[in-house]
Amino acid sequence: MKKVYLAGQPNKYDPWRSAFADLNGFVFYDPDIDSDQSSPDTYFPQDLEAVSSADFLVANVGTKPSEGTWIEIGYFLRLSTKTPGEQSKRMVIIYPDDREPRWSIDFVKKSGLVVPTVEEAVHKLQELYKDSA
């Protein structure tokens, strides 16, 4: 079983995480469910511990502010690469076509595998799983 950290838009804004529920071969960490979100004193260390033990990270930066997601992306990037500027081949970032600002997309693509939809992220994660087997 591969561990996957699901970072990004809270379920109250977008129930995107449910698209991953039926995938075989994975154990998912959903911060909305799996950590105490009542205070940064609880969720910040719990979530980063989960990021550090994940084999893959799927991040949905959505269209609403996702400041915490960028911290999780950066932390996973650091843990899953050896040199600055290297792209993580174990991280999928959902960056919708209508997300602003568009100027940042080239920078984001340097960090991980970028897709515009949740459905494409599911497909990409399945590909990564096959490649890691």
pTM for the complete prediction? 0.94
Q: Cα-atom radius of gyration of the chain, to the nearest Å?
A: 14
pLDDT band at 133 (very low <50, low <70, confident <90, very high): confident
Residues recorded for the chain: 133
> Which residues span the domain enclosing 47?
2-132
Cis peptide before 101 (omega within 30 of 0): yes
Instruction: Report which of residues 114 and 101 the model is more confident about.
Output: 114
Number of domains in the chain: 1
pLDDT single digits (tens) 61-100:
987 777 889 999 999 999 999 999 999 999 999 999 988 8
CATH of the domain at 91: 3.40.50.450
Full DSSP string of 75-133? HHHHHH-SSTTPPPTTEEEE--TT-S-GGGHHHHHHHSEEESSHHHHHHHHHHHHHHH-
Tokens representing 51 are: 């990021």
Beta bridge partners of 60: 8, 94
